[in-house]
């Protein structure tokens, strides 16, 4: 997305400081690259500037928290992975990104960042690589915002949430789980999911995956009801049926999209029955997924998650502490309940159950939009899928913004300025003005 010119806009408040820093930091990096080594006085001035900006941003944000529109930060799930998705961030912010990439490789025990940077696609798309790669990239973008622009989630947002895999990044940003623990968990979860799929293929045969079902909004509830009538409720339920016969509604993504998970042939047969039953022909789209996530086939991953969440942190200095910090800094929305986690026990239970249960994304967005009156939404991470799903529900059409707020996404460094501008322009709009 092209950068919006700044010369004609008067900015105020914390975002003015952040945007000024965005321009000065860019110039400082360009000058340092061409004129000075990394230990030059120019670099020292840049570091001092970042410190002053962060202090001012923190002070200003604390004075506007009670008046600004409510804000949610959200993170993407599997399917948005792309070779070289880290490249623009590494090129723009090498001093910040390179150490985090080394940290990522140390946590997972192999050069994951080489896979992210160089692929090939057929490797990056495999679940054991795709899931930690997406989660790690999302956190790198968040860390760039924090270090380079003084952005603090706890001061700039009221809620976080993540789509399926994205929930792990959301929990990091909310302060419930450390990055090292969360990435380790994602890695083990992904390995267990891939192994569970392979075991089902070997024992029962067939092909497994996920299929998006797209329909007009007025047909969505009858469609969900019909599918539940054929396969049972949208929870794991009984174990009587063999995995090859089990199909689950894995995601309720929006008012016109759900995702089915399980045996591909079984899904096709199911949709033929549904079309005959409803007299309606929804569109079916095979997703870029090598496993049937959020289905009973993933039960081995459920056990892995329970075991990890019952343990201690892996972070140096926290080895004797619980892996979950409670309370966090701001509320995080559960994929399972579409509501904030209510306790440490709830968080552990629901984060584990998320592997086999339906992701209630549509209900999560409706809850924040309609009940919590969230008016500003910022997606952080690769891809625009999350922004598009949120925008469908809260009113974004093309480049239009919702009343009193907006829906943005930071997937590339060039988009930071636009998002900070959007936050600034809506900073002082209060709920009374929206009614």
Domain-wise residue ranges, the chain: 69-196+302-434, 204-292
Asked if residue 394 has pLDDT above 60, the reply is: yes
Asked if residue 151 has pLDDT above 70, the reply is: yes
* pLDDT at site 399: 43
Asked if residue 56 has pLDDT above 80, the reply is: no
CB 189 within 8 A of CB 294: no
Kindly state the average pLDDT of the residues 45-64.
41
CB atoms within 10 A of CB 137: 26
Render pLDDT for 327-366 as a digit per residue (tens, 0 to 9).
999 999 999 999 999 999 999 999 999 999 999 999 999 9
Structure tokens at 85: 């998705």
Is the domain 69-196+302-434 a CATH 3.40.366.10 member?
yes
- Integer distance in angstroms from the first to the last C-alpha of the chain? 32
Kindly state the average pLDDT of the residues 146-154.
95
* pLDDT at site 291: 94
CATH number, span 204-292: 3.30.70.250
Structure tokens at 357: 């249960």
Residue matched to tokens 């959007």: 422
Strand 406-410 relative to strand 374-380, pairing: parallel
Helices (H) and strands (E) in the chain, counts: 18, 8
CB 40 within 8 A of CB 80: no
Peptide bond into 120 cis (omega under 30): yes
Q: Greater confidence, 230 or 286?
A: 286
CB atoms within 10 A of CB 250: 27
| Burial annotation 149-188 (CB, 10 A radius, 16+ → b, else e) | bbbbbbbbbbbbbbbbbbbbbbbbbbbbbbbbbbbbbbbb
- Distance of alpha carbon 385 from alpha carbon 212, whole angstroms: 13
Q: What are the C-alpha distances in Å from 249 to residues 286, 317, 357?
A: 14, 41, 8
Please list, in sequence order, all residues whose beta carbon lies within 8 angstroms of the beta carbon of residue 168, skipping any fewer than 6 positions away.
Answer: 135, 162, 177, 182, 183, 185, 186
- For residue 246, name the pLDDT band (cuts at 50, 70, 90): confident
Residue of 422, 426, 427 whose CA lies nearest to 19: 422
Q: What is the CA radius of gyration of the chain?
A: 22
Q: Which of these ranges, 26-35, 63-72, 277-286, has the smallest mean pLDDT? A: 26-35
- For residue 377, name the pLDDT band (cuts at 50, 70, 90): very high
- Distance of alpha carbon 114 from alpha carbon 105, whole angstroms: 9
- Distance of alpha carbon 431 from alpha carbon 435, whole angstroms: 7
- Distance of alpha carbon 113 from alpha carbon 378, whole angstroms: 25
Most confident of 14-18, 191-195, 274-278, 419-423: 191-195
CB 168 within 8 A of CB 136: no
Strand 257-263 relative to strand 247-254, pairing: antiparallel
Asked if residue 418 has pLDDT above 80, the reply is: yes
Q: Diameter of the chain by CA atoms?
A: 73
Q: What pTM does this model have?
A: 0.84
The gap from C-alpha 377 to its chain's centroid, in whole angstroms, comes to: 12
Please list, in sequence order, all residues whose beta carbon lies within 8 angstroms of the beta carbon of residue 229, skipping any fewer than 6 positions away.
Answer: none
What is the spatial order of strands in the sheet that 247-254 belongs to? 247-254, 257-263, 208-214, 283-286
pLDDT above 70 coverage of the chain, percent: 78
pLDDT above 90 coverage of the chain, percent: 67
Taken as a whole, the chain contains a residue count of 435
- For residue 181, name the pLDDT band (cuts at 50, 70, 90): very high
Q: Enter the DSSP assignment of 12.
A: -
Residue of 367, 371, 377, 364 whose CA lies nearest to 403: 377
- Distance of alpha carbon 168 from alpha carbon 171, whole angstroms: 5
Residue of 115, 145, 266, 128 whose CA lies nearest to 205: 266
Kindly state the average pLDDT of the residues 210-215.
96
């Amino acid at each position: 997305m092209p950068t919006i010119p700044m010369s004609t806009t008067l900015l105020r408040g914390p975002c003015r400081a952040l945007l000024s820093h965005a321009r000065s930091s860019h110039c400082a990096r360009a000058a340092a690259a061409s004129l000075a080594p990394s230990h030059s006085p120019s670099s020292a001035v840049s570091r001092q500037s970042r410190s002053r900006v962060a202090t001012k941003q923190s002070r200003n944000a604390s004075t506007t928290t009670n008046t600004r529109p409510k804000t949610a930060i959200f993170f993407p799930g599997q399917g948005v992975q792309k070779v070289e998705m880290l490249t623009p961030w590494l090129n723009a912010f090498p001093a910040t990104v390179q150490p985090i990439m080394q940290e990522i490789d140390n946590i997972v025990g192999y050069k994951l960042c080489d896979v992210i940077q160089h692929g090939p696609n057929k490797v990056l798309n495999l679940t054991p690589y795709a899931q930690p790669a997406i989660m790690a990239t999302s956190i790198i973008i968040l860390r760039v915002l924090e270090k380079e622009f003084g952005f603090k989630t706890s001061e700039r947002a009221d809620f976080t949430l993540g789509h399926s895999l994205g929930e792990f990044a959301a929990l990091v940003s909310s302060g419930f789980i450390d990055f090292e623990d969360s990435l380790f968990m994602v890695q083990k979860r992904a390995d267990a999911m891939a192994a569970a799929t392979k075991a089902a293929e070997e024992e029962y045969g067939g092909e497994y995956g996920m299929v998006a079902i797209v329909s007009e909004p007025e047909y969505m509830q009858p469609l969900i009801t019909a599918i539940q009538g054929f396969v049972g409720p949208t929870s794991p339920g009984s174990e009587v049926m063999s995995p090859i016969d089990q199909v689950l509604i894995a995601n309720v993504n929006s008012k016109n999209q759900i995702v089915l998970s399980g045996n591909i042939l079984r899904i096709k047969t199911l949709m033929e029955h549904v079309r005959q039953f409803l007299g309606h022909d929804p569109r079916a789209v095979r997703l870029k997924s090598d496993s049937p996530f959020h289905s009973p086939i993933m039960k081995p991953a459920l056990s892995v998650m329970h075991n990890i969440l019952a343990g201690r942190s892996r972070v140096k200095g926290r080895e004797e502490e619980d892996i979950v910090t409670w309370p966090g800094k701001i509320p995080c929305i559960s994929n399972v309940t579409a509501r904030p986690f209510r306790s440490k026990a709830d968080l552990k239970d629901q984060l584990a159950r998320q592997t086999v249960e339906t992701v209630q994304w549509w209900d999560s967005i409706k809850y924040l939009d309609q009940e919590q009156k969230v008016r500003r939404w910022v997606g952080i991470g690769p891809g625009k899928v999350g922004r598009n799903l949120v925008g469908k529900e809260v009113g974004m059409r093309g480049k239009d913004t919702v009343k009193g707020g907006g829906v943005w996404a930071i997937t590339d460094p060039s988009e930071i300025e636009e998002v900070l501008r959007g936050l600034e322009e809506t900073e002082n709009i209060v709920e009374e003005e929206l009614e």
